[in-house]
Chain A
Amino acid sequence: MKEHDDSTPEQNTAITAPVAEKGLSRRSLIKGLGAASAVAVGSGAITGFPMIWAQNIKNVTLRQFGTGVSNLNDIARKAKEDLGITLQLTALDSDAVAQRAVTQPKSYDIADIEYWIGKKVFPSGVMQAMDTTRLKNFDKISPLFINGKLTADSTIAQGTAPHTVGFVESADSVKFASEPTRWMTLVPTIYNADTLGIRPDLVGRPITNWRDIMDPAFKGKTSILNIPSIGIMDAAMICESMGEVSYGDKGNMTKEEIDKTIAILMQAKKDGQFRAFWKSFDESVNLMASGEVVIQSMWSPAVAAVRSRGVECRYQPLEEGYRAWGGGIGLAKHLSGLELDAAYEYIDWYLSGWVGAYLNRQGYYSAAPETSRQFMSEDEWGYWMEGKAAQGDILSPQGEVMEKAGAVRDGGSYEQRMGSVACWNSVMDENRHMIRKWNEFIVS
């Protein structure tokens, strides 16, 4: 239940804590506090770091939902501490997120969704574009999300590259703009490059390519993920690496490409190549840690989770490059007034560094690497972002030892990893056909 559901829009701008008390006239209070809050909003813009966040948003509750990766209670706690706002988090799997974003637009204030989900959700008109001029940290956002190029000479990867769905043409438009505009759909929060996870102690040979997952030596000991929209991409990386199928755009396959890919998967399944297909983070961790599989598609923190159980696990960089994904937070259409202000403030805070450092320490990347550096030690920055050997123990955000001194991150530096993205998670034009074929594969 939100604090001020019963207030009219014009009242929204200046409701503060005492409103909740009985006997005070809401209207008289607002008159007095209006000026004060205006000052508070203004002051944020002038000061540098550490920022003084607006005071009038103190008791606002924002309901955010998204995938488990970035819906972290620590972030909600810190937001309460720094901004005073209460974040109610709901974590769902990515399919459920897409579903809820479209079908229950009133049930959330902030959607934390992946870009490929955004490509589905935003055109349905349930969200509103963000005015980038209201975000002080906008220019700190990695160019990967602005023009798709990490460095000036990098090539743009296939699939739903975030910058292609990152902007719309105007405040009310639901049409994605071909180049950066003032109106952003999602402010990036978290992203990473995915590859195969392996058990170096059990595979018994160097793994260098995506096709290695199809090696008969690993029969019955492999797994891929059973989220069709992502699984098909891993499958495409594998088939391309095998030389069986060549793709125009792995993120937007033709019917024929889909059919060929699924046919290869079905044959492999029939031959008993796969042990299981996983759908959730912990399933993948358990499959790997228990030794059910020795090579599988995996997510970075799942690798860390396997290692934290004392089981050797490597996030193997592969010749063909990574499959990348990225998420962002966007505003629900119904947000207005004070809530909208609070949401902007929150998003700006998200970019201001603390959250970024937190996410970097988990093995993800933050949207504004520059700001997060201030919140990380030199050693942490070196290990996570620059691919240097750790000087001391590398701790997780919860303070557990993740890596000992001397460890080097699998895949190397930020530029090495995010610079060799082959394909972004995406949603295809032939999505319906793809799902049908995927179902066929699962049933077979």
Chain B
Amino acid sequence: MRTALANISHLQSLPLALTLLVFLVFPIAVIVTVSFWGYDSYQLLPAFIFDNYQYLLSSSVTWQAYLNTFKYAVITWAITFVLGFTVAYYLAFHIRSTRMQTLLFLLCTIPFFTSNIIRMISWIPLLGRNGLVNSSLQSVGLIDQPLEFLLYSDFSIVLAYVHLYTLFMVVPIFNTMMRIDRRLIEAARDAGAHTWQILLLVIVPLCKSGILIGSIFVLTMVMGDFVTVRIMGGGLRASVGVLIHNEISLLQYPAAAAGAVVLLATVLLMLVAMFRLVDIRKEL
């Protein structure tokens, strides 16, 4: 009987296992294989060489790109976390009616009705040298010269990331906040805790899993992104994704594959470290 049941549950997990096998494991295996291949200007040469990795790991370009990418990831994470947490907190604890909560939550998702490329590009006329921001600041008399750093800079890149990804912080944090037993907060207050103490000692610890999930979303998306950096950085900045994309577009698949494998390993290590901090199974 037990073995029959076990068989049935194996059977039930089969569709997911197959899907993951075909769409996740197999492609990654191919990428790993190709990363050891050689190439010339128009074809791949099956081989088992370490040239791609050797260049990748020894080149200052890679290190600089990783440094840039981490910089974007950390700054974006910090800002989206503060914003996301605040928005979620407001929605969960200050809005009393469920209907209003749902309504405001939907409001947050409205920008996502358009593609992220369009949301990104729409910043450009706003931030340019003769853009809306500069021209209004100038006409108000706050500045004489247009602010050049607004566009095609680290600033514009991070701005776009924050715009694009804050919601991914809001949703999971809001979700965990809604599960917090309100009696715990009452108890804390009865025990004489401050609003700040409640926030830091009760709410934040109980939101850990939401914060972790949101952080995973934001960090992995920033680490893997190349479009935002290219468009908002005006091609002047580069992240790891941009380098990989450049190599792909020039048919240098093995080099790109090696880059992708290293990036994947980096992101996985980051995830391992994050899961060490929070036991997500226990918290959920």
Contact = CB atoms under 8 A, between A and B. Distances in A.
Interface of A: 93, 95-96, 98-99, 102-103, 120-121, 123-124, 220, 226, 228-229, 269, 274-279, 286, 290-292, 427, 431-432, 435-436, 438-440, 442-444
The 7 closest A-B pairs by CB, nearest first: A276-B234, A277-B235, A95-B249, A226-B235, A120-B42, A443-B238, A276-B152
A295 B130 CA distance: 16
B130 A443 contact: no
A94 to B, nearest CB: 9
B251 A443 contact: no
A252 B130 CA distance: 40
From A226, A274, A432, A444, residue with most partner B Cβ within 10 Å: A432
B129 interface: yes
Contacts of B64: 443-444
Interface in B192-247: 230, 234-238, 242-243, 246-247
Contacts of A103: 251
Interface in B56-114: 59-61, 64-65, 68
B147 to A, nearest CB: 12
A439 B234 contact: no
Nearest to B60: A440
B148 interface: yes
A223 B174 CA distance: 44
Given A286-B124, A291-B130, A443-B61, A435 B42 contact: no
B65 A278 contact: no
Contacts of B68: 443
A120 B246 contact: no
Contact of B59 (A123, A277, A436): A436
B250 interface: yes
Given A432-B252, A435-B247, A102 B235 contact: no
A175 to B, nearest CB: 14
A120 B41 contact: yes
Contacts of A279: 230, 235
A229 B41 CA distance: 12
Contacts of A276: 152, 234-236
B25 to A, nearest CB: 22
Contacts of B61: 436, 439-440, 443
B9 interface: no
B251 A99 contact: yes
B48 interface: no
A234 to B, nearest CB: 14
Contacts of B60: 440
Contacts of B243: 439, 443
Contact of A439 (B128, B236, B238): B238
Contacts of B125: 290
Contact of B236 (A93, A277, A432): A277
B252 A439 contact: no
21 contacts: A98-B251, A99-B249, A99-B251, A102-B42, A120-B42, A229-B250, A275-B129, A277-B236, A278-B235, A279-B235, A290-B128, A290-B129, A292-B128, A292-B130, A431-B250, A432-B252, A435-B250, A435-B252, A436-B61, A440-B61, A443-B68
B238 to A, nearest CB: 4
A218 to B, nearest CB: 13
B242 A275 contact: no
Nearest to A229: B250
Contacts of B50: none
Contacts of B41: 120, 427, 431-432
B249 A102 contact: no
Interface residues of B, number: 35
B246 A435 contact: yes
Contacts of A275: 129, 152, 234
A436 B250 contact: no
A1 B65 CA distance: 43
B248 interface: yes
Given A121-B42, A275-B234, A96 B249 contact: yes
Nearest to A103: B251
Nearest to B231: A283
A152 B234 CA distance: 44
B130 A290 contact: yes
A420 to B, nearest CB: 29
A259 B247 CA distance: 19
Nearest to A275: B152
B69 to A, nearest CB: 10
Contacts of B234: 275-278
Interface in B149-173: 151-152
Interface in B124-142: 124-125, 128-131
A442 B235 contact: yes
B26 interface: no
Contacts of A431: 41, 250
B142 to A, nearest CB: 20
Given A102-B251, A124-B42, A292-B129, A442 B148 contact: no
Contacts of B152: 275-276
A205 B230 CA distance: 32
B235 A124 contact: no
Contacts of A123: 42
A277 B235 CA distance: 5
A93 B245 CA distance: 13
A328 B80 CA distance: 49
A95 B128 contact: no
A444 B65 CA distance: 9
A439 B42 CA distance: 19
A269 B238 CA distance: 13
A231 B128 CA distance: 24
A444 B64 CA distance: 8
Contacts of A102: 42-43, 251
Contacts of B131: 290
Contacts of A291: 129-130
B42 A274 contact: no
Contacts of A121: 42
Given A276-B236, A432-B252, A442 B55 contact: no
Interface in B236-278: 236-238, 242-243, 246-252
A278 B152 CA distance: 11
A278 B247 CA distance: 17
